[in-house]
Amino acid sequence: MKINDFVDFLCCPDCKGTIGIDGENLICMNCKRTFRVYYGICVDMLPSKKFRRSAKTELERKSITVYNKLFDEPFTWKDNPSPWGLVVPKNYINKLQKHKHMVYSLIPNRINRFIDISAGSGRFSIELANRSEVCFLCDISVDSAIYLTGLVLKEKIENVLVVRCDYTSLPFKSDVFDFCLCNDTLIYGPDHEKNVLLSIYEISKKGGSCVLDFSNKYHRGFWHKPYTYGYSKRQMIDMLLNTGFKIDVCLPLYYEFAHDIEEKKFITKLINLVVPPTRYVFRVVK
């Protein structure tokens, strides 16, 4: 696939105008802003202005500082990009496998139009390209965009467009995607979560689904340092329903039982009854 094959799904992140081809780059046919394309498969489509949200807590203030830094970084090519999730601590490998197993159990075998709105290193989504007709891997981070572009070129994956964008002002038309992944991202505060969910809802097709997760505040309260936001299951469900989604599946994810991937052991089942899950993974439908 070439950049032309992806253009129909895109729109201007500023004015929502139609996107056209301008030589090797893209252009908004309405406001005439141009968007640089790299290696024919990666496009920089950040909005012109940052998204403003309120910060009521220290955690929210910190996450806004990180966002500002990611947003302000100029798109300069680098040799050793280090996206989120590329390096995994040894004691997290089992947990990651378990998390992936659970997320994948909710993903359709064939997807027409697929998007990961915060792909990081693509550790949850790069394999999904071969289940999809068209695949968009998105992230605000320059390191992510460069890393994912390198990966796609190296693996000769033909149907992926890497998009550097902001998930609060996505450069995609409404009602486009059959399946959206949003993993480990609804963690920066209620106002942030609300806006991300509204963005996902907007670009999803009617009947399209999305797999997303939240951290469980009761798990964190026990033995985790709270460096991101966690919610009660009720709060998670309310956020999803208030956005307009229908809840299809809700799975508790226990990192503690990472060694028992299918949770078949008796002891796992027993402990599950008393230990709060680390996260809840949802499949929701528009």
- Judged by CB, which is closer to ligand SAM: 4, or 105? 105
In 3D space, the residue among 199, 162, 145, 144 whose CA is nearest the CA of residue 16 turns out to be 199
- Judged by CB, which is closer to ligand SAM: 73, or 263? 73
199 sits near ligand SAM (criterion: CB under 6 A): no
State the Rg of the chain over Cα. Answer: 19
278 sits near ligand SAM (criterion: CB under 6 A): no
The CB density around residue 266, as the number of other CB atoms within 10 Å, is 7
- Judged by CB, which is closer to ligand SAM: 37, or 121? 121
Q: Which long-range contacts (CB under 8 A, 24 or more apart) does 254-262 make?
A: 254/98, 254/278, 255/95, 255/98, 255/99, 255/279, 257/98, 258/94, 258/95, 258/97, 258/98, 259/94, 261/97, 261/98, 261/101
Place of tokens 């489509």: 45
- Judged by CB, which is closer to ligand SAM: 132, or 144? 144
Residues numbered 69-108 forming contacts with ligand SAM, rule: CB under 6 A: 70, 83-85
67 sits near ligand SAM (criterion: CB under 6 A): yes
123 sits near ligand SAM (criterion: CB under 6 A): yes
Residues numbered 155-184 forming contacts with ligand SAM, rule: CB under 6 A: 166-168, 183-184
Name the segment binding ligand SAM (CB under 6 A); options: 32-40, 105-113, 139-147, 201-209.
139-147
